[in-house]
A and B are shown apart, each in its own frame.
Chain A
Amino acid sequence: MLSSMLVSGLITGTFYALMALGLTMIFGVLRIVNFAHGEFYMIGGFAYVLLYHNLGVPIAVALPAAVLAGGTLGWIVEKLLIRPIYAEFGGRQQGRDEYAIIVTFALSILLIAAMTKIVGPWSLQGPRLIDGPPLLLAGVRVSPHQIAALGIALAFLFGTLYLLNYSLWGRQIRAVAQNRSAAAVMGVDVGKVSTIVFATAGGLAALAGALLSNMISPSPDVGAFPAIKSYVIIVLGGLGSPLGALIGGLLLGVIESLGAIYISFSYRDTYGLALLVLVLLLRPNGLFGETRREV
């Protein structure tokens, strides 16, 4: 029982981590929280489901298209709404925070409302990646679809982490996160990096939305909880820390799944808040925080 709960917690946690990774990358590079992150997830889920059901696009095309939709949205949002932050506020963090919170929160509501107008308030279940009889994995019954979704999520998760740490591209992103002006001096186009990071984050969240669309059917407001969980995770892991997003995601998945059996299933979404309070109380910089508490 315990081991099977651990496994199912780790599976859920992987998808959480996928969302939180993009969010923490955005925070690292731009020092802002994207409060519309759940809507990238939602757009990914709907792109996947609608392409498959309404246009008959095969899954092998619909899934990359969903990632692309999230990435494109991230690209546009950064260019149109986030870019002015650096042009207008200079080094003034307060003005930047105000603008970022207001604009991304408004964007989140706008995207939910617009999607409700377009497809209605209902939820639509996404297709399975592969069909087949369930398998037993460490005592947990998992469908081949879940295994495939998990595999893709893991590949993207570790692929992104690998690139961030070992590729020139990733090192440049980390350079911008650590020292924006020094990165510009050495020849990195910080504006372009910000756009790329936003697009990557959008794509990763959209991927999570598409992969989970069979288990959690997308509706316009489906993104709220995945987003709140990724906020908890990035605080838990340390704002701006990619490794922290991974560990934090897995940890939250496991805690929720343990809480679901030992405390109460219907309140499983609330354990994140308890965890958040504990982290703020005991280790406010998070597990892997690189950021200083006071600038």
Chain B
Amino acid sequence: MSAILQIENVTAGYSADIDILRGLSLNVRKSSVTGLVGLNGAGKSTVMKSIFGFLRPRVGRILFDEQDITHGRPHELASKGLWLIPQDGGLFDYMSVETNLRLPIETRRAVNGLSRAEIDRRVADVMEQFPILQEKRRQLATRLSGGQRKLLEFGIAHVQRPTLCLIDEPSIGLAPKVAEEVFAHISTLAKTGTSVLLVDHNIRKVIEVASYVYVLTLGTVSAEGESSVFQTDLHGQVKEWLGINY
């Protein structure tokens, strides 16, 4: 299976003398979910930031669809078909639910050349898929509950039809039932043709949803494999990778 995103030997960090990522290499496969797990501080969120241009790698390169995006700026990457659902706050709090859904795609209309009818259709699609958003379409995003906010962020991602969607800790702070729903939407995203790079602290769920999993330890990949391999003796393996009692 070919890769939509290739990270090759990337070293990155926030201050000049401390590297968070140290020679990291990983691939995200087309139209499937790739999982990334690791302890707090392993550099999971830093991977996301580096891909999306919020942090410039010092060494190495990042290829998206075989195109070098190592030094791309965030807004340029958005127009290439990348999308990010950040760990906290991907919404515009003082805009309505509907504006939150529409504004990103309308912003990129100049690039993607979508017709207004197509945008309306996609928004209507999402409203149908997430009835709660339909119900609250006129409300400000700040009035939504934590779970509803996450659903809105997935709704926005659905409207974009991105080639690659980066999802950072989607289940953090959510009730187990809502988290289930969120993971179901991740599977849906992949089925509709979007490639996903998923970071989450819930290792069991990541392995369930993802087809391929990387384990990140201190900024570099310490183990990887098809998720089916991990399902048999997850306990033992996790202990071994992370050196903890899971």
Residues of A within 8 A of B (CB): 90, 168, 171-172, 174-175, 178-179, 181-190, 290
Contacts and interface: CB of A to CB of B under 8 A. Distances in A.
Interface stretch (B37-45, B84-92, B125-133, B191-199): B84-92
Interface residues of B, number: 25
Contacts of A178: 92-95
Nearest to B141: A178
A182 B75 contact: no
A175 B95 contact: yes
Interface of A is mostly: helix
B75 A190 contact: yes
Contacts of B94: 174, 178, 290
A172 B83 CA distance: 17
Interface in B88-104: 89-95, 99, 103-104
Interface string B136-150: 000000000000000
Given A181-B86, A184-B54, A290-B93, 15 more contacts: A90-B14, A171-B95, A171-B103, A172-B107, A174-B95, A175-B107, A178-B93, A182-B86, A185-B74, A185-B84, A185-B86, A186-B103, A186-B104, A187-B107, A189-B73
A143 B237 CA distance: 85
B74 A181 contact: yes
6 contacts: A90-B14, A171-B99, A172-B107, A181-B86, A183-B92, A186-B108
A187 B111 contact: yes
A133 to B, nearest CB: 48
Interface of B: 14, 52, 54, 73-75, 78-79, 83-84, 86, 89-95, 99, 103-104, 106-108, 111
A188 B107 contact: yes
Nearest to B153: A182
Contacts of A186: 78, 103-104, 107-108
A185 B53 CA distance: 10
B90 A185 contact: yes
Contacts of B90: 179, 182, 185
B89 A187 contact: no
A42 B81 CA distance: 46
Return the 9 tightest CB-CB contacts between A and B, nearest first. A186-B104, A187-B78, A184-B74, A178-B92, A189-B75, A187-B108, A185-B84, A182-B90, A187-B75
A290 B74 CA distance: 26
Given A184-B74, A185-B78, A179 B14 contact: no
A182 B91 contact: yes
A194 to B, nearest CB: 12
Contacts of A190: 75
Given A90-B14, A182-B91, A182-B92, A168 B74 contact: no
Contact of B92 (A168, A175, A184, A187): A175
A188 B93 contact: no
Nearest to A178: B92
A175 B52 CA distance: 18
Q: Which of B74, B89, B91, B111 is most buried by chain A, counting CB atoms within 10 A of its CB?
A: B74
Contacts of A181: 54, 74, 86
Contact of A168 (B14, B84, B91, B107): B107
A179 B95 CA distance: 11
A168 B95 CA distance: 13
A14 B150 CA distance: 42
A90 B95 CA distance: 25
